[in-house]
Structure 1
Amino acid sequence: MHRLFCNTAESSLAIAARLCGACSPQARCVQTATATKPEKIEVFINDQKVMVDPGMTILQACSTVGIDIPRFCYHDRLSIAGNCRMCLVEVEKSFKPVASCAMPVMKGMKIKTHSDFAKKAREGVMEFLLVNHPLDCPICDQGGECDLQDQSLMYGSDRGRLQILLDGKRSVEDKNIGPVVKTVMTRCIQCTRCIRFANEIAGVADLGSTGRGVDMQIGTYVEKLLASELSGNVIDVCPVGALTNKQYSFVARPWETRKTESVDVMDATGSNIVITHRTGEIFRILPRLNEGINEEWIGDKTRFIVDGLKRQRIMMPMLKDNKGVLQPCSWEVALFAVASKLKETDGNQIGAVAGSLCDIEGLVALKDLLNRFDSENVCTEESFSKTNGGSDLRSNYTLSDGFISVEDADALLLIGTNPRYEAPVFNARIRKTFLHKDIEIAVIGSKVDLTYDYEYFGESAKALDDILNGSSEFAKRFRSSKHPMIVVGAAVLDGKNGGAVLAKLHQIVAKLRNADKNLKILNVLQRRASQVGALDVGYKGGVDCLRDGKKIKFLYNFGADEGIIKRKDLSDNAFIVYQGHHGDVGAAEADVVLPGCAYTEKEAIYVNTEGRPQKAYPAVPPPGDARIDWKIFRAVSEVAGKKLPYDDLKSLRLRIEEVAPHLLRYNSIQRSSFGTQASALSEVGNVDVPVKPSQQELADYYLTNSVSRASPTMAECVKAAKKHKESLIADAS
């Protein structure tokens, strides 16, 4: 009988190679981090003596000396399958060609990668791959980026000998796996990369293989959604055009587009991205390699947000008329309306709130503007505790140890957070650690569907007392661990009990006697891209200062679209200015609307939840009359007669250096130095509310800001996620 469903088809040789450490380089690094480094062994590659680490595969050994071996199924971050056979090489005393991706090196081994024997073997493999492959290159979206195209040119024959005259080429029915990934399964070469990615990285066992030989197919067995927040990465790992981007279908060729390196702001991870664009239009967002942050993965919201950047954009300034309706106006009229209201309002009655997508330049310019009018009422939408040092201590609101530190952790405590949806690529790193290292994971908060096993301590924050007092078995093991890590969600600290939770966590950290003294241990996982940067430059966490006494008569809303602060919270007849790039909740309540730039349209600094500043670069010009945010604040100040002292980006960066020098140390994490002081300031209070993350389901993940809410693709994803959940409930009943 045919094998009905299997996740991967690893040979015994591949399994042996993986067990000896020849899996992905990252996994091997984690496994041997504390072990004594073994002595290198001598091998000969193309008659050249090479010293390599034992346990390396032949393919990896060749890579160390710059020899590129063709491959389809092998991927650096996935387990070894050894089933495409494209990486065949000649090994002395072996009668058959050897699959270099699955064969570990041995002392004295003599390898030839470009001999006639190896070339002929690869040519034969390529001939068999092409015999059933459709001639879709002119209409395939993978054209120009296709490994099969490149390798058939480099390693294939100039003609094919196999002719299928009677039955024609093999064809496979396309699968529907969701609204973002397009499938043309006739192009599939069964490399199983997508299966291994789904199982090992994404942690969802939705993809598998059915049938054998010519009848083998990749799919979900029954039609269903590929229910993962990382599903778009199968497009990148697929070496052919079987899995492509539905948004990008028949849009452009890669050689027609330009690429701009930038930073993502859909969450607080700060994933590195590449934006592909042409003639002022963005076509795709792709991942950019950064081992310290996102490796080479990005979340689906990051990748497929493209259409949201084109819809519901604010294209021109608007001013409310006598009937209370926003009408388009010139920049001159809008600026004079804002400036006149500013000048006639007392400083203590002026306030500003910053949203989730703001850059450092805009935040500093807005704060400077309000300071010129004797106002200190600048805050963020997201609340943060003011006790226990509050935002004065950076370790209180950053993921101080960095994402990569979780790979060394031996005990992890997640409190009120769901990293799977709040920081998908960080969650993938946690899963990697779970698979390749003996790490214990516990959760306090809502019971969420993570991609790894964990010990659950309930939803009540009183479970923190068990950890503090060491009354549970996990608490005892946590205290004795050498590399413990606590990750607390920003949602837990966003409330009246946030200070008490933070205090208890500092007390727990103070009792960890065996932990490495260089570790900060307590890490806060923020949800919003601007939160850490705003707190760094002096913004207050939360809008309490704006609500107190309903005294605010002038509110400058800088991209705050979550409806945290509303007109009813302000003084009667308050004047609201909204500055942003999408028509959402904030713009609907404004008296004046000023069009700003999205993150893809300006050079700016963003600070991720680690506290790592990164530069984003403009890929396309802003639409219509939109302007860069800090320049708008500068123009308002000049019209109001309180001119800000910077006219260009260079002088503004000098001002940023005065406020927070570490924000100009790009791509580096400024280590927090006051963890002990934070513990000393902590006063343990009673916590009597449930600890819940903000994003508990896949549907919650897609609509978290004004850009995602404007995206038709994100709306389709929400619809598919809800339908998938309903089908699971129906199956369970």
Structure 2
Amino acid sequence: MLKLKVNDIDVEIEEGLTVLQACEKAGVEIPRFCYHEKLSIAGNCRMCLVEMEKSPKPIASCAMPAADGMVIKTNTPKIEKSRKGVMEFLLANHPLDCPVCDQGGECDLQDQSMFYGIDKSRFKENKRAVPDKNMGPLIRTQMTRCIHCTRCIRFATEIAGVPELGAIGRGEDMQITTYLEKSIQSELSGNVIDLCPVGALTSKPYVFEARPWELKKTESIDVMDAVGSNIRVDTYDWEVKRVLPIINEDINEEWISDKTRYACDGLLNQRLDTPFIKYNGKFEKASWEEVFKIIKSKIENTSKDKIAGFVGDLSNMESSYIFKEFFDRTLDSSNYESRSSNYYVDNSERENYIFNSSIKGIEDAGLIFLIGANPRFEATILNARIRKSFLNNNTKIISLNDVGDLTYSYEKLDGQTKTIVDIFQGRNDLSKKIISTKKPLIILGESFFKIESAKYIFDLIKNYLKKNNKISSEWNSLNKLTSDAATVGSLDLNIINHNENMFDGLNNHKYEIIYLLGQDDLKFSKKDEFIIYQGSHGDKGAEIADIILPSSAYTEQNGYFTNLEGKLQKSYKASYPPGEAKEDWQIINELAEFMNNRKLFNDKDELESSMFNFINLKRENKNLQKSNIEINNSFKNEKLLVDYKSYYFSNVIARASKTMLDCHNSKIGVKRTGTYG
């Protein structure tokens, strides 16, 4: 530990910290523009000047390593004069357009010029003008405002892994540009807007929409993927205007993906706001009572084994649980599923379907082996952690398949399932590497669970890791990379059919009534089935429905989600659903009351407490029901194909978003969809 003095306050800090961090530990605020905790040190704005004993000139505190016995002063007349001089230089070319700048109200330059600036300028020269750059459909540029802090360049190069931003020219002629003026080919590009301390890079879809002080701010959870990034939803008059990240070092640090940030305009488009009934191939508006009457009549005249229910990818856990209870208690049936296709899953033990090493644990990994996964498009924020581990620790990364650019170098294998078997039977060079690495990470993507030998190979991998002490209380190397927000929560709630293959039943037209709770990804050809669709958007599920029950989107109801590492988090209500739409749990509760004259739960609190009791009992009871369905437990050599949803159209909200369409069109030259062999 190092001991030093900051403004006559004794401070003790770890070795390796900078003077700026030491000052912060002493409770002294140091102004800065270029310095950021998550980026490399540039030391080029000079706003963080402090005085150090025995130093003839002020020092840049962000770039100076702290040393034992240093005596630092941050508030002397000399430092105040230096900071005013720096601010005068920064404002020499900065346009005075704060009233029309989207950064107004949350601008570092505005705040610091008020506190540390000077009331007049000695510069009489004309201000420079810099042409605006095209950075794609997400980032609006006004480069005349740029103060050359280079945060955006460092973020693109270090965190996002796309070295497309850089500086050309020198001195006053320096410009930040994408060189070839093209859209930034990254799923994290929107973060440069948060990083920019001035209004040079602002949000294109949000331009001139609102001022920060007019917005209602709600802390919530993202559902665009299974990572569960912490977000803030900003609403104006109950309309979601923007989504921003909240710092959570364990999950998303302070970044969010572009889909998380910009798909929110899809909450306004294609919304279902009233119940519909299909007559002669056309939808007609109806009342809640009318649709409930038809559903009740249909269910009463149908055998219970001919009724099936499917839960979708954005459903919160309360909705999924009450849906399960509706089938168990009201319909006396267990024909419910949370999967959208027939892939292998064993939810008898929680470690079989979560990311056991944790997202933060990726930074401790010595070796990462990707099997049937493309983390860049399936879990963008998790991919950023893998890149961080690769850069900081020089972690060895191996992928069974060539899955294109993942923003870091990795070794590619041949994509054959026989290779996996050889590795986990100790017949491959990689077998020894896995054993000798203290903390290896095996990441199984959803594509892996779709292969014919999934059960055989999964059991083989798990047994091999257990035998070699890679699954223990300290470290668990076995990780499943889930891509949908509702998947882990639904498996925790046991929403999976252990008795029959419901997908065969779908394709063989066994079911007469199919109830879809936000499920839009089922692939089957409709024949005579009566389909009830409950959801927020007029998407694929609504197209084939006979009755539509309009419900709330994730920003319009409180609800729990469990992320891919098994962490339970709550999403909070930020706005209200349109028209007659209701919350998911409420619709099912009212339907149960209409059918049985008795609600399933008296209120939301009772529902939540019942749900948590179920989860706790499931975790205590280790002898869970195993699947009765005959699963292929033999090995068949095949090529593992990495297949995943189109990144910008992965769910109903994204598909309804105009911004996501623009992103897809701007990046059409990059291989983003399809199957990798």
TM-score (norm 1): 0.87
C-alpha contact (below 8 Å) 1:485/1:521 kept by paired residues: yes
The alignment status of 1:558 with 2:507, answered yes or no, reads: no
1:46 and 2:7 correspond: yes
Distance in 1 separating the partners of 2:142 and 2:190: 15
Whether the 8 Å contact between 1:314 and 1:583 is mirrored in structure 2 is: yes
1:617 is matched with which residue? 572
Which residue is equivalent to 1:666? none
1:482 corresponds in structure 2 to: 438
Residue 338 of structure 1: aligned partner: 295
How far the C-alpha of 1:615 sits from its partner, in A, is 0.6
Greater mean deviation of Cα atoms: 395-404 or 150-159 = 395-404
Q: Which residue of 1 aligns with 2:634?
A: 685
Structure 1: distance between partners of 2:300 and 2:350: 35
Alignment of 1:221-620 (within 5 A): 221-321=179-279, 323-371=280-328, 372-383=330-341, 390-513=346-469, 518-540=474-496, 543-544=502-503, 546-547=505-506, 549-568=508-527, 573-620=528-575
- Number of equivalenced pairs: 665
Q: Would you say the 8 A contact 2:423–2:429 is kept in 1? A: no
Structure 2 residue aligned with 1:122? 83
Q: What is aligned with 1:141?
A: 102
Given that residues 105 and 211 in structure 2 are in contact (C-alpha distance below 8 angstroms), is that contact kept between their aligned partners in structure 1? yes
The residue type paired with residue 345 of structure 1 is: T
Q: 1:151 is matched with which residue: 98, 112, 124?
A: 112
Cα contact 1:175–1:219 (8 A) shared by 2: yes
**Contact 1:87-1:99 within 8 A present in 2 as well:** yes
One-letter amino acid of the counterpart of residue 88, structure 2: E
SS in 2 for 1:101: coil
Distance 1:328 1:683, change over 3 A: closer
Q: Which moved more, 1:373-382 or 1:545-554?
A: 545-554
In structure 1, C-alpha distance between the alignment counterparts of 2:565 and 2:590, rounded to whole Å: 33
Structure 2 partner of 1:185: 143
**After the TM superposition, which residues 13-92 of structure 1 pair with which residues of structure 2 at under 5 Å, given as runs?**
40-92=1-53
Alignment partners' CA distance in 1, 2:633 and 2:269? 48
Q: Secondary structure at the match of 1:204?
A: coil
Measure how far apart 1:157 and its partner are: 0.7
The alpha-carbon deviation at position 513 of structure 1 amounts to 4.1
Q: Which moved more, 1:217-226 or 1:587-596?
A: 217-226
Give deviations 1:282-306, integer Å, cap 9, x for gaps: 1100001111111110000000012
Does 2:176 align with 1:218?
yes
Out of 645-654 and 445-454, give the one that drifted further: 445-454
TM-align CA RMSD = 2.3
Amino acid at match of 1:718: H
SS of the residue 2:241 aligns to: strand
Mapped partners of 1:225, 1:500: distance in 2: 44
1:569-615 Cα shifts (integer Å, max 9, x gaps): xxxx3211000000011001111000000000001111111111111
Q: Secondary structure at the match of 1:352?
A: strand
Q: Equivalents in 2 of 1:539, 1:494: separation in Å?
A: 19
Conserved 8 A contact 1:481-1:514:
no
Deviations 1:331-362, CA, capped at 9 Å, x for gaps: 11111111221122121111101111111111
When residues 448 and 724 of structure 1 are mapped into structure 2, their CA distance, relative to the original with a 3 A threshold, is closer
In the alignment, structure 2 segments of 5+ residues that lack a partner are 673-677
Secondary structure in 1 aligned to 2:417? coil
Indicate the percent of aligned positions where both proteins have the same amino acid.
44
Amino acid at match of 1:440: K
**TM alignment of 1:711-722, pairs within 5 A:** 711-722=657-668
For residues 383-437 of structure 1, give each alpha carbon's deviation from its aligned partner in whole angstroms, at most 9, with x where no partner exists: 46557xx122211111122111111111111111111111111111111111111
Q: Distance in 2 between matches of 1:544 and 1:642?
A: 33
**Is contact 1:482–1:515 with CA below 8 Å preserved after alignment?**
no
Unpaired segments ≥5 residues, structure 1: 1-39, 664-669, 727-733
Q: Displacement, 1:504?
A: 2.8
